[in-house]
Structure 1
Amino acid sequence: MYEVIKNKSKYVEAYQLGSDNAVIKELIQKGKICDLGDGSYEIHSQEAVNGAVGGEKAIAGDWIKLDSTGRPYPNNKEYFEENNRHIEGDTFEQLPKALPAWDAKLEMCPEVAFLIEKKGLVIDEASSDRRYTAQLWGTTEVAAEDAIIVFYSISYDDAGDVTDCDWNFVERGEFERTYSVIG
């Protein structure tokens, strides 16, 4: 694996689900977010649209950012608030930290093996546009062979074996626009 970091001092616009926000309303109107009416939402991120079976699940209080193509993607409330600082209005500064990442150019590692064995990651070596499939955020997400798997947290036991992790796919173009490789 290698280490990546979100681009430093990057300012982003973010919108809290369940708030009376014009951008959230517009995304709902355009069908990019579906309000399920029970305090939960389906977010039609780039990876969820590629999966073609529904949106990523999020709840009121979670945050939405927009990728460079204008597609929304959810951030868990706690993760967002720990890793972003409010500037003003809908503007936040990302507080970047080094994160482990993996892509297909690398050898298999214990963390990705754990995703396959315990988290339902499927790697289809025969497909370039649907190389990776997994159940993430309550839906099937699909990513192409050049996507990157970014680990937001990894837990290990005393023997050094992976016990859990929080992760997601990042489409290559989005990765190149928003991350830097640091090691």
Structure 2
Amino acid sequence: MNIYIKNMVCTRCKMAVESLFTELKYTVINIDLGEVEIKESLSDTQLGEIKDRLEAIGFELLDDRKSKIVTKIKSLLIELVQKNNAYLETPLSNYISEQMNQDYHALSTLFSSLESTTIEQYFIILKIERVKELLVYDEISLKEIAYLLNYSSVAHLSKQFKKVTGLTPTHFKTTGDQRRKLIDKL
């Protein structure tokens, strides 16, 4: 049985959710961002208990099909930015369509209707948050960050960064105000 969970956006989230399911004595077959597959079938009472326990640690059980699709799209984008460093050999629309095995236009329309932003804008915001993270760590140059996140140039990265944050990457880096947003709040 697959269970879809909102706000499960990082490795620590996966560990917390897996721990919860193990504590409740369920057999976790697979766990991914936003989704847990367990061996057992669940009754409404068991789902209610899981829902309450998830909410207690900051997660939300998803039960409608549309929310599950949007959560899966977000998980794909987060994974792309965090693990694959936003490198794509195909356009983002093709990647999403292939991964979801659905028409991109329908997915995009659904995403926009539930999230009040487009898939592309959400992806840009995720990339900018990743840029902020890398700037705060101060271990690689802006040129390396641009390459890592698949920007065509440092100028393109800087322009997009300023459009989203109101600051240049250099100004962001030098100010003491290096606030980043939590991924689950984007």
Indicate the TM-score class for this superposition, using the shorter chain for normalisation: under 0.3
Q: Give the structure-1-normalised TM-score.
A: 0.26
Relative to its length, the structure with more helix (as a share) is 2
Q: Give the structure-2-normalised TM-score.
A: 0.26
Give the number of the structure with larger relative contact order, counting CA–CA contacts within 8 Å between residues 6 or more apart.
1
* CA radius of gyration, larger in: 2
